[in-house]
Amino acid sequence: MAGTSISVSVTGDLKRFEDRLQKLVNFDFKGLNTKIGNAVLNNTLERFKQSVDPEGKPWVESGRSTGLANKAGTAKDRRNARSHKTLVDTARLKNSLHVVATPDAAEVGTDVIYARIHQFGGETGRGGATKLPARPYLGFNDEDQKLVATIVEDHIREKAGQ
| Residue span of the structural domain in which 58 resides | 28-160
User: Residue 7 domain-assigned?
Assistant: no
With a cut of 80, say whether residue 21 has pLDDT above it.
no
At residue 110, the pLDDT reads 95
At residue 102, the pLDDT reads 95
User: Residue 5 domain-assigned?
Assistant: no
User: Residue 128 domain-assigned?
Assistant: yes
The dihedral through the CA atoms of 153, 154, 157, 162 has a sign that is: positive
pLDDT digits (tens, 9 = 90+) for 24-72: 778 889 999 999 999 999 999 999 999 999 999 999 987 765 554 455 4
Q: Give the amino acid at 148.
A: V
Mean pLDDT computed over every residue of the chain: 84
**Count of domains for the chain:** 1
User: Residue 20 domain-assigned?
Assistant: no
User: Residue 17 domain-assigned?
Assistant: no
pLDDT digits (tens, 9 = 90+) for 74-83: 665 555 555 5
With a cut of 90, say whether residue 98 has pLDDT above it.
yes
User: Residue 92 domain-assigned?
Assistant: yes
- Closest by CA to 81, choosing from 67, 60, 91, 71, is 67
Q: What is the pTM of this model?
A: 0.75
User: Residue 86 domain-assigned?
Assistant: yes
Contacts of 30 (CB under 8 A, 6+ apart): 101, 102, 103
User: Residue 10 domain-assigned?
Assistant: no
